[in-house]
Amino acid sequence: MNDAVIEAIDLSKTFRPAVVAVNGLDLRVPRGAVYGLIGRNGAGKSTTLRLLMGLLRPDRGTAHVLGSDIKDAPRETRQRVTYVSQEQQLPWRMTADELMAYFSQLYDQWDTAFATDLVRRFDLDTTRPLGTLSGGDQRRVAVILALAARPDVVILDEPAAGLDPVSRRQLIEAMIDFLGDGGERTVLFSTHILADLERVADHIGFMDRGRMMLSGPLDALQGGMRRVQVIFSGDRVPSGFEIPGELRRRTDGPVLTAIVRLTDPDQVNRLQAIEELRVTEHSLGLEDLFIELMERDPHSMGDLQSSPWWQHA
Amino acid sequence: MLLFSINPHSGVPVYRQIMDQVRYHVAAGTLAPGQQLPSIRELAHTLAVNPATIAKAYSELEHDGVIELQRGRGAFIHATPPSMPRDQRRQRLRTLAERMAVEARQTGADDADIRVALDQALISLNRKRPS
């Protein structure tokens, strides 16, 4: 349990007047994870990240990064964590070169070669005042600063928002280079864009209305869920027929389609053994999973979090 | 250099896709015993996936005896790639055959067409395999 580099317990924040942004959130990010915090706009993702960075004070609960509340942490700890907010404000009179020179003094692990490499790849003009750069380029500068500081933990709020596919790919490549061989450095990012996320994230947390609905290693989330279709030989699905572990179902005449949580490997095989049924089974992409989960009543999701299929994976 | 390709939206975990492709290339003979695989860093960069995912694929492949990880040197195809346990192989084959039968039938092919197509695929696979 001590290997969590980011840990929030019962984290809650309400904005006046009575807008509940984060509501009893539990979040655990293990060391070395690339953790994607997913949710619709307004799910509370940005507020969560700002609480973790100590930019907001929680009403209840705790938010720890590298073992302590970041506001109380010594400088040595704070310089091991970097953060890029959604509306990054950079000093607009300074150039990227000047800002990078400044950061190299602030951060002991500053990596000049990596910064130079990223500037070249992002094709940035580092000699112009930051205020004259496009919004996208300003965000790229902020990302370079966050990664070239070589922190243990990087927190990125919607890094892919507003970027075209080529820029998103560049961002992901920068992230991958930052990770090196993997396993040491931790990235936590929020997003409502699922494209490309599946490439890089290995842990996922689904947030909805300020709560964590489902979280865990992506492999286990994907491996543990299937879309199963059963076609009966009659003209309707017999009443009372259920697929073991089904979470959502749709019936259309003799066709039953269900999202099924796998708890044992023979669950679907047993159905296939029944002669008069035609059973097909499909993997679920992250996007399918997201849609299926978000359409569900969040109050009935608790059983998923405590279910064994991903916790033991 | 070998081409791996992954589809992150397929719902099949990325490390599985990589494992399957290494296995495929070993079966087809395009990866020979002793041949070196790209480093974790290199493959992560090429595929734009998390290095931890590549590391996981490699370590599972090592566990299954398909590759050998040599500290500081990299990953190599095992000199004697293992065969699957019989039960597992039978189960796997059944799943593959069922999928092929269903999808092939949807194209309107009859039993004979399907058998011929499978035979041809085996012939061309055997041709690729050296020796």
**Please, what are the domains in chain A?**
4-209 (3.40.50.300), 221-305 (3.30.70)
pLDDT confidence band for B130 (50 / 70 / 90) = low
Q: Domain tally for chain B? A: 2
**Contacting residues of B for A288, CB less than 8 Å apart:** 11
User: Where in the sequence is the domain holding B44, given as residue range(s)?
Assistant: 14-77
CB contact under 8 A, A285 and B10: yes
Calculate the average pLDDT of chain A. 86
| Residue-wise pLDDT tens digits, B77-124 | 998 867 777 777 888 888 888 888 888 888 889 999 999 999 999 888
Reduced 3-state DSSP string for chain A: CCCEEEEEEEEEEEECCCEEEEEEEEEEEECCCEEEEECCCCCCHHHHHHHHCCCCCCCEEEEEECCECHHHCCHHHHCCEEEECCCCCCCCCCEHHHHHHHHHHHCCCCCHHHHHHHHHHHCCCCCCEHHHCCHHHHHHHHHHHHHHCCCCEEEEECCCCCCCHHHHHHHHHHHHHHHCCCCCCEEEEEECCCCCHHHHCCEEEEEECCEEEEEEEHHHHHHCEEEEEEECCCCCCCCCCCCCCEEEEEEECCEEEEEEECCCCCHHHHHHCCCCCEEEEEECCHHHHHHHHHCCCHHHCHHHHCCHHHHCC
Nearest CA in chain A to B102: A280
Percent of chain A with pLDDT over 90: 48
pLDDT at A307: 41
Residues 37-96 of B with CB under 8 A from A: 40-41, 44-45, 47-56
Calculate the average pLDDT of chain B. 86
Establish if B5 belongs to a structural domain: no
> Could you tell me the CATH number of the domain that includes residue B50?
1.10.10.10
User: How close does chain A come to B8, measured CA to CA in Å?
Assistant: 5
Residues B73 and B30 in one domain: yes
The model's pTM is: 0.80
Residues B27 and B65 in one domain: yes
**Contacting residues of A for B47, CB less than 8 Å apart:** 199
pLDDT at A310: 37
**Contacting residues of A for B50, CB less than 8 Å apart:** 34, 176, 179, 182, 199-202
pLDDT at A271: 79
| Residue-wise pLDDT tens digits, A253-275 | 889 988 888 877 777 777 777 76
Q: Which residues of A touch B (CB under 8 A)?
A: 32, 34, 169, 172-173, 176-177, 179-183, 196-202, 218-219, 222-223, 280, 282-288
Residues B118 and B72 in one domain: no
Mutation target among B17, B50, B59, B71 for the A interface, most CBs of A within 10 A: B50
Establish if B109 belongs to a structural domain: yes
**Contacting residues of A for B95, CB less than 8 Å apart:** none
**Contacting residues of B for A198, CB less than 8 Å apart:** 8-9, 14
User: How close does chain A come to B14, measured CA to CA in Å?
Assistant: 7
pLDDT confidence band for B72 (50 / 70 / 90) = confident
Percent of chain B with pLDDT over 70: 93
Select from B12, B49, B51 the Cβ nearest to the Cβ of A283: B12
